[in-house]
Structure 1
Amino acid sequence: MNFAVIGVGGYIAPRHLEAIKDLGHTVVAAFDINDSVGILDRYFPDCQFFSQFERFEVFVDGLKGSDKQVEFVSICTPNYLHAAHIKFALSHGAHAICEKPLVLHEKEIDELEQYETRYGKKVFTVLQLRVHDAILALKKKVESNPKELFKIDLNYMTSRGNWYHESWKSDVRKSGGLSTNIGVHFFDMLTWIFGDPVDVAVSEYTPTLEKGTLRLKNAEVSWSLTVDRKLLPQAAVAAGKTTFRSITIDGEEFEFSEGFTELHKRVYQDVLGGRGYGLNAARGAIRIVENIRKMA
């Protein structure tokens, strides 16, 4: 398969490049507004790179009908650009594989459904926690031992320096805010296992900390998300860790700190094998984080 990558200079792009290469496919074109993209030499040194989107578009169109025609566009751009870049992929004859969050607003999912119908191409979203071995085992365990209401505590702390507050990630209009940036994949995991969202409440909302409660069909969730390193538990600090994640289910700690290195490769295997997650798979988590913003 031939791929193009939009946002190849970003943090998450190397995971996509590695997955594409390891699975034996090719990136023929890449775009980023920044030209610090030496990472391409490690994976696809013959890839055509563009820092002007218009030239990138012309090049992609020029490949149509050739053995290098772009069949998939991988999207690794800032959150607020996802919908536009997905529409670009579909309208230019390619399927789209988009990083989380798929979009910032649920109505954009409806718009993209119309694009899928119009152009006959599909949108796939990166929901990597759904292919994590420990989480797959948890889903199986919950399904084999169902109950009306599970009690869950979610705490996720990941340190970010001063750069974070100067970047697009701190602009709610561009990122969707903290819960969208670092929480959306956890909310997706919980809705996947415990059912659709019923209600969400916000008790604290600052640029570095968000807290609240979430009611799912079969669970009540107390959640806390932060990028403030001063809130890290002392044990994590003593161990030299910059990230702390904890999920307890009915008081029992659920451990899934390992096993993250191959997740994007698994996502790509599923997509290319016809098993990838599409637009509606992302709907529940997008609805949650959008409601958090509205309430805040």
Structure 2
Amino acid sequence: MKKFALIGAGGYIAPRHLKAIKDTGNDLAVAMDINDSVGIMDMHFPESEFFTEFEDFAAYVEDEALKGNKLDYISICSPNYLHTPQMKFALKNGIDVICEKPLVLSSEEIDTLKVYEEKYGAKVNSILQLRLHPSIIELKEKVMNAPEDKVFDVELTYMTSRGKWYLKSWKGSDEKSGGIATNIGVHFYDMLHFIFGDVLHNEVHYRSETTSCGYLEFKRAKVKWFLSIDSKNLPEDAVVGEKTTYRSIDIEGEQLEFSGGFTDLHTQSYQQILSGRGYGLDDNRTAIETVENIRKQIVIDDSMNKHPLFYKIS
């Protein structure tokens, strides 16, 4: 049985980590969140220590290590901009990390964390659960079995409506969240890289606080993408059906269906990590470089590769 800590226990994704720790037969020794609405812990680990200040959490972790109760893993589900400093804390204390996406906000942080890994002998593991989804694995095999010169035409559309609170939270700050493409899209870019190979070309056609779209060329695919949290951009069929989220990955006229199958992907991710087969720093580099470039590069308006929904917002 491994001893875990969880940072960000009050967040949206934390229940999946709590369940994964429990389902893999391990123990949550301590959790931390600046918010104290963490009753979900009682379903899994009612005896865990809990702190609302990081300094108190850090002191507890270090004091317990001196008593011979060193943690094996710290799972991180905190806001994006806190991932790197919190991973540094874990690594400096010789504790392995399991961190939610986006792992970091810049490729430079990946390089820094590699130095920490080498110096302190601990390892960073990331949650890239789409790589474990059966439909994604099936598509990857289809691409691998296609003629080597085959390049697929893909349209990625993802909209998840958010209220006014979003832009007033840390998620509305590019410095803290990385912006729309990072916050709601990084796992899609990793999935595309996982299936279609290296990124060869990257264009941004529109970028605002709520919406971004562009074009990515991979070794095996040309991808027009559109991401938004603005409900005004939802297609008519979604509005009529009173849906607040719309997701479509069209591959040459065929829809990639992966709306189901998510239930146990975090648990599967933990199983892989615990068996030494987790996704590490270098596995994240392409997706992080992709969103970093999307955030920084100049928007162009003369491309022939625009997503159809670009014309709805332009």
The TM-score bracket by the shorter chain reads over 0.9
Do residues 85 (structure 1) and 91 (structure 2) align? no
Cα distance in structure 1, aligned partners of 2:258 and 2:54: 39
Q: Partner of 2:160 in structure 1?
A: 158
What are the equivalent positions in structure 2 for 1:1-296 lying under 5 Å apart? Answer: 1-64=2-65, 68-148=69-149, 149-296=151-298
Letter in 1 for 2:164: N
Cα distance in structure 1, aligned partners of 2:78 and 2:85: 10
3-state secondary structure, aligned to 1:246 = strand
3-state secondary structure, aligned to 2:189 = helix
**1:151-183 deviation digits (Å, cap 9, x = unpaired):** 111000111111111110010000000000000
Cα distance in structure 2, aligned partners of 1:241 and 1:124: 34
Higher mean C-alpha deviation, range 145-154 or range 180-189: 145-154
**1:18-51 deviation digits (Å, cap 9, x = unpaired):** 1111111111011111122222111111111011
3-state secondary structure, aligned to 1:30 = strand
Shift of 1:118: 0.5
Name stretches of at least 5 consecutive residues in structure 1 with no aligned partner. Answer: none
**1:31-88 deviation digits (Å, cap 9, x = unpaired):** 1111222221111111110112111111111222656421000000111111111111
CA RMSD of aligned residues (A): 1.3
**1:222-252 deviation digits (Å, cap 9, x = unpaired):** 0000011122122223333221111111222
Note if contact 1:86-1:96 (Cα within 8 Å) is conserved in structure 2: yes
Higher mean C-alpha deviation, range 141-150 or range 263-272: 141-150
Shift of 1:91: 0.7
Cα distance in structure 2, aligned partners of 1:210 and 1:60: 41
Note if contact 1:28-1:68 (Cα within 8 Å) is conserved in structure 2: no
Letter in 2 for 1:122: K
Cα distance in structure 2, aligned partners of 1:146 and 1:2: 47
Letter in 1 for 2:31: A
Letter in 1 for 2:271: Q
Higher mean C-alpha deviation, range 176-185 or range 28-37: 28-37
Shift of 1:210: 0.3
Letter in 2 for 1:57: A
Note if contact 1:6-1:31 (Cα within 8 Å) is conserved in structure 2: yes
Cα distance in structure 2, aligned partners of 1:218 and 1:139: 11
Cα distance in structure 1, aligned partners of 2:97 and 2:177: 20
Cα distance in structure 1, aligned partners of 2:208 and 2:147: 36
Q: Partner of 2:304 in structure 1?
A: none
Matched residues, percent identical?
A: 54
Name stretches of at least 5 consecutive residues in structure 2 with no aligned partner. Answer: 299-314
Note if contact 1:19-1:268 (Cα within 8 Å) is conserved in structure 2: yes
3-state secondary structure, aligned to 2:65 = coil
- Cα distance, 1:213–1:44 mapped onto 2, change above 3 Å: same
3-state secondary structure, aligned to 2:215 = strand
Higher mean C-alpha deviation, range 150-159 or range 233-242: 233-242
Q: How many aligned residue pairs are there?
A: 296
Letter in 1 for 2:293: N
Shift of 1:262: 1.2
Note if contact 1:204-1:212 (Cα within 8 Å) is conserved in structure 2: yes
Cα distance in structure 2, aligned partners of 1:241 and 1:264: 25
